[in-house]
Structure 1
Amino acid sequence: MAKADIAAVLALAAAFFIAVGDVIHQRSAHEVTDEPVGHLELFGRLLRDGRWWLGSGVAAIGFALQAAALGLGSVLLVQALLVTSLLFALPISARLAGRRVTRWQWLWAALLAAAVAVIVTVGDPTAGASRASLHTWLWVAAVLGPVLALCLLGAQMASPPASAVLRAVVSGGLWGLFAVLTKAVVDRLDVTSWAGIVTLLSTPELYVWAAVAIAGTAMQQASFRSGALTASLPTMTVVEPVVASALGVAVLGETLRPGETGVFALVAAVAVMVVATAALARGEAATREPA
C-alpha cells in the first residue's frame, strides 16, 4: 500500500476519534457549571472534570493518528479527510441528545463527503517540505495573529451563537496551525536514541506546537460553551483544513494537481463543502435551541 493510501486511512481513523472527543468535550463544557464563567475559569473547571479527561483521551488518540498520517502524507490530503469528523460527530451528538438526524442532514452530509472525495482525488495533493524558515513563520504570525485577535474581540461583543462561531474560527485557525507544526515535529521525532531526543527538544516548533495546542483547546471549549455543537463544530471543521491547507501551500510548498479539466471540479467541490457545512450548522442549530 502506498504511503498516501496509508495516510488516508490513518486520517479517516483520526477523524472518528477526534469527532467522539469533540462531542464529549462539548457536553462537558455545557454541563460542568451553570454559572457564567470566563475562558480561564472554564478551562480550570474542565481540568477537574473526569468526563472532559475521557474526551481528551479519545481526542489524543485521534491526534496521534493525525500525526502519523502527516508523517506519511501531505497536509492538504490529511486535513481534507479530517473534515469527515463532522460526519461522525453529528449522528453521535444527535444520539446522545435523543434526537434523530433528518433526511436533509444526511443529504448534506453525503454531499460533504462527496466534496471531500473530489478534493482528495481530483486535487491529487502532493507533499512539500516538513519545516519552514523563521522568516516565513514571522510572516504567518503577522497575517494570522491580527485576524484571530479581531475574531476574539468580536466574540466578546457578539450574541451567543455568533460568539460561538467566532471562537470556533479562532480554534479552527489554531488547530490548522497545529497540524502544520505537527508535521515539523513528527519530522524531527526520533526517540530511539538520546541524540534524537536532544534534536527534538532543540526544535523550536515543538514548544510553539505545545502552546498552540493548549490555546486551541481553550478556545474550543469556550466555543462549545457559547452555543450548540452545530454552531461551533462545523465552523472549526472547515476553518481548520482551510488554514492548514493554506499554510501547507504557502509555508511548506505543497501543491494541488487537478489538471486543466479538474480545476472546475475542484472549485465546485470546495464550494459544495462550504455550503454543505453551513447547511448542516443551520439545520442542527434549529433543532438544538435552548428551551
Structure 2
Amino acid sequence: MATADIAALLALAAAFFVAVGDVIHQRSAQQVTDEPVGHVALFAQLLRDRRWWVGSAVAAGGFALQAAALGLGSVLLVQALLVTSLLFALPLHARLDDRRVSRWEWAWAALLAAAVGVVVTVGNPTAGQTRASVEAWLEVAAVLGPVLVLCLLGARCASGPVSAVLLGVAAGALWGVFAVLTKTVVHRLDVTSWDGVATLLATPELYAWVLVAVGGTILQQAAFRAGALTASLPAMTITEPIVACGLGVAVLSETLRPGEAGWFTLVVAVAVMVVATTALARGEAATHQPA
C-alpha cells in the first residue's frame, strides 16, 4: 500500500475519533453550568468535568492518528479528509438529542464530503517541506491575528448560532495552524535517544504548538457552548482545512497538481464546501429559533 494511501486511512480514522470527541465536548460545554461565563472561566469549569475528560481522551486518539497521517502525507491531503468528521458527528449528535438527521442536513453533508473527495483526487496534493521559517510564521501571525480578533469581537456582540459560527471560525483557524505545527513536531520527534529529545525541546514550534492547542481548545469549547453543534462544528470543520491547506502551500511549499482543466473543478469544489457549511449553520439557526 502506498504511503499516501496509509495517510488517507489514518486521516479518516482520525476524523471519526475527532467527531466523537467533539460531540462529547459540545454536550459537556452546554451542560457544565447554567450561568453565563467567559471563555477562560468556561474552560476552567470544564477541566473539572469528568465527561469532558472522556471526550478529550477520545479526541486525543484522533489527534494522534492525525499526527501519524501528517507524518506520512501532506497537510493538503490529511486536512481535506478530516472534513469527513462532520459525517460522523451529525448522526451521533442527532441520536443523543433523540432526533433524526434531516434530509437537508444529509444532503449538504454529502455535498461537503463529495467536494472533499474532489479536492483530494483532482487536486492531487504533494508534500513539501516539514518546517517553515520564522519570517513566514510572522507573516502568518500578521494576517491571521486581525482575523481572529474580528471573529472574537463579532462573537461577543452577537449571540446564538452567529456567535457559535464566529467562534467556530476562530477555533478552526487555530486548529489549522496546529495541524501545520504538528507536521513539524512529528518530523522532529525522536525519542529513541537523548539527542533526539534535546533536539525536539530546542524546537520553537513545539512551544507554539502547545500554546495554539490550548487557545484552540478554549475557543472550541466556547463555540460549542454558544450554539448547537450544527452551527459551530461545520464552521470549524471547513475553516481548519482551509487555513491548514493555505499554510501548507504558503509556508511548507506543498503543491496541488490538478492540471489546466482541473483548476476550475477545484475552485468549484472549494465553493461547494463553503456553501454547504454555511447552509448547515443557517439550517440550525432556523431550527432553533424560539417559538
Query: Normalising to structure 1: TM-score of the pair?
Result: 0.97
In 1, Cα distance between equivalents of 2:154 and 2:285: 21
Per-residue deviation at 1:63? Answer: 0.3
Q: Which moved more, 1:97-106 or 1:9-18?
A: 97-106
Q: For 1:228-243, list aligned pairs within 5 A.
A: 228-243=228-243
CA deviations 1:70-125 (Å, max 9, x no partner) are: 00000000000000011111110000000101222222222111111111000000
For 1:201, give the aligned amino acid: L
In 1, Cα distance between equivalents of 2:139 and 2:41: 32
Secondary structure of 1:255 counterpart: coil
Alpha-carbon contact 1:228-1:289 (below 8 Å) kept = no
In 1, Cα distance between equivalents of 2:113 and 2:154: 31
Per-residue deviation at 1:289? Answer: 4.6
Correspondence 1:258 to 2:255: no
Query: Normalising to structure 2: TM-score of the pair?
Result: 0.97
CA deviations 1:189-226 (Å, max 9, x no partner) are: 01111111111111000000000000000000011111
Correspondence 1:160 to 2:160: yes
Secondary structure of 1:191 counterpart: coil
Per-residue deviation at 1:284? Answer: 3.4
Identity of aligned residues (%): 76
For 2:163, give the aligned amino acid: S
CA deviations 1:210-268 (Å, max 9, x no partner) are: 00000000000011111111111000000000000111011000110000121121111
Q: For 1:1-291, list aligned pairs within 5 A.
A: 1-289=1-289
Q: Which moved more, 1:164-173 or 1:10-19?
A: 164-173
For 1:68, give the aligned amino acid: A
Q: How many residues align?
A: 291
Secondary structure of 2:101 counterpart: coil
Alpha-carbon contact 2:165-2:281 (below 8 Å) kept = no
For 1:33, give the aligned amino acid: T
In 2, Cα distance between equivalents of 1:29 and 1:71: 32
In 1, Cα distance between equivalents of 2:67 and 2:289: 36
* Structure 2, unaligned runs of 5 or more: none
Per-residue deviation at 1:163? Answer: 1.5
In 2, Cα distance between equivalents of 1:223 and 1:104: 23
For 1:216, give the aligned amino acid: G
CA deviations 1:26-57 (Å, max 9, x no partner) are: 00000000000111111111000000000000
Alpha-carbon contact 2:161-2:284 (below 8 Å) kept = no
Per-residue deviation at 1:188? Answer: 0.1
* Structure 1, unaligned runs of 5 or more: none
In 1, Cα distance between equivalents of 2:286 and 2:162: 14
In 2, Cα distance between equivalents of 1:237 and 1:176: 10
RMSD, aligned CA: 1.2
